[in-house]
Structure 1
Amino acid sequence: METYTALRQFADSWGLLAMALFFAGVILFTLRPGSKSHANEAAQIPLKED
């Protein structure tokens, strides 16, 4: 049962921090300058004819 307790404490502290940093990184990656043209290009892929 000690393993469960250790993993639970890790998830409550460092796991939460890692998820918060990942979330902030995804938001910053999405809102970075110049990403709008890439997003628009990716959005048009299903509509292109080969």
Structure 2
Amino acid sequence: MDTYSLLRQIADSWVLLAMTVFFLGVIVWAFRPGSRSTHADTAQIPFRNDDAPTSGEPK
């Protein structure tokens, strides 16, 4: 068996399985029950240094 065929066979089976397991692990990690506060805090990063809202007049 030449090198290309061997690598192709490995990529078609084990690497695909490893990538699927990694993807599912990332999804489970992102939606785990205790991560809501972390995601909420991260979502507010762009607004942390904003001043209080003005009366709607441009500066």
TM-score (norm 1): 0.88
Aligned to 1:42: 42
Using the aligned pairs only, state the percent identity.
58
Larger radius of gyration: 2
Mark the runs of 5 or more structure 2 residues left unpaired by the alignment. 51-59
Please tell me the root mean square deviation across aligned C-alpha atoms, in Å: 1.7
Which structure: greater helix fraction?
1
Q: Structure 1 stretches of 5 or more lacking a match? A: none
Provide the TM-score with structure 2 as the length reference. Answer: 0.76
Aligned residues: 50
